Amino acid sequence: MRTLRDVKAGEKAVVVKVNGVGHLRKRIMDMGITKGCEVEVIKVAPLGDPVEITLRGYDLSIRKQDAESIEVE
DSSP conformation class of 50: S
Q: CB 6 → other proteins: shortest distance, Å?
A: 18
**Per-residue x/- marks for other proteins, 3-42, CB under 8 A?**
--------------xx--xxxxxxxxxxxx-xxxx-----
Q: To 5 degrees, how large is the angle CA 32–CA 59–CA 8?
A: 95
Name the helix (H) or strand (E) containing 60. strand 58-62
Q: CB 2 → other proteins: shortest distance, Å?
A: 18
Length of the chain: 73
Binding site for other proteins (CB under 8 A): 17-18, 21-32, 34-37, 43-50, 52, 56-63, 66
